[in-house]
Amino acid sequence: LLSDTDVLAARELVGRRVSREPLQYILGTQEFCGLELDVNPAVFIPRPETELLVESVAQLISVKRQATIVDVCTGSGCLAVAIAWLRPYARVFAIDLSNASLDVARQNAARHAVGERITWLEGDLLGPLGGQQLEGRIDVIVSNPPYIAEPDWETLQPEVRLFEPRGALVAGPQGTEMHERLLDEAGQYLSPGGVLIMEIGAGQAHEVRRIVDQISGYRFHQLVYDAAGLERVAIVERAGT
């Protein structure tokens, strides 16, 4: 039999879910690439589709390659931690604008014993890379940036709209503003032949490709589709050899 205390605790948890709070925040964890990660309302909850970014990096970077990889908008650290876990010889940098998010990311890295191989930087997109002497030396920049258009915010389900951090979701009026900024900033840091891997929203592939075509020094490499057949990952290569 449950004690009165247990019953009250269970009712409280059920009440939180009835109010549409995401189960991941209630439990405090979310699985990603086979790794259990801590999550709280300071970070966006990792989605299965985002695992495609990790798979794309793994396809481009061999296990023993000593590559330099940067995760922008790291949030919970899911990408940085999973990549460091799968590619133990890689040098990983993880950037986020939110100090609270970086705290969660560090915790997840420590949990999976990869924290010593990740450099944490706080700031806006690639700005914190200044002074790191990484110009033209980065092999991969990977990012799941905000890509929701502002007019679409009110149409999102309550679990997202009422509980997840808006700054991790909404990019601007078009939804592709962060992708354009990443393309503008990444050119000086990517090595010749280096790649920028970005998650995109459904219907954004055409606009992202148009932006790529307008910025010199890039060529569109590949578009990756998710299990639902929706465009999900855009891979762009820095021109040069």
Beta strand spans in the chain (E): 29-32, 35-38, 68-72, 91-96, 118-122, 138-143, 148-149, 170-172, 190-199, 218-225, 231-238
Please compute, for residue 48, the number of CA atoms within 13 A of its CA located in the half-sphere on the CB side: 4
Distances (CA, A) of 206 to 145, 174, 232: 17, 13, 12
Phi, psi (degrees; rounded to nearest 5) at 158: -55, -35
Q: How far apart are CA 30 and CA 37, in angstroms?
A: 5
Please identify every residue annotated as catalytic.
Answer: 44, 144-145
Q: How far apart are CA 16 and CA 201, in angstroms?
A: 29
> Strands 35-38, 29-32: parallel, antiparallel or unpaired by DSSP?
antiparallel
Q: What is the largest CA-CA distance in the chain?
A: 69
- DSSP, collapsed to helix, strand or coil, labels residue 63 as coil
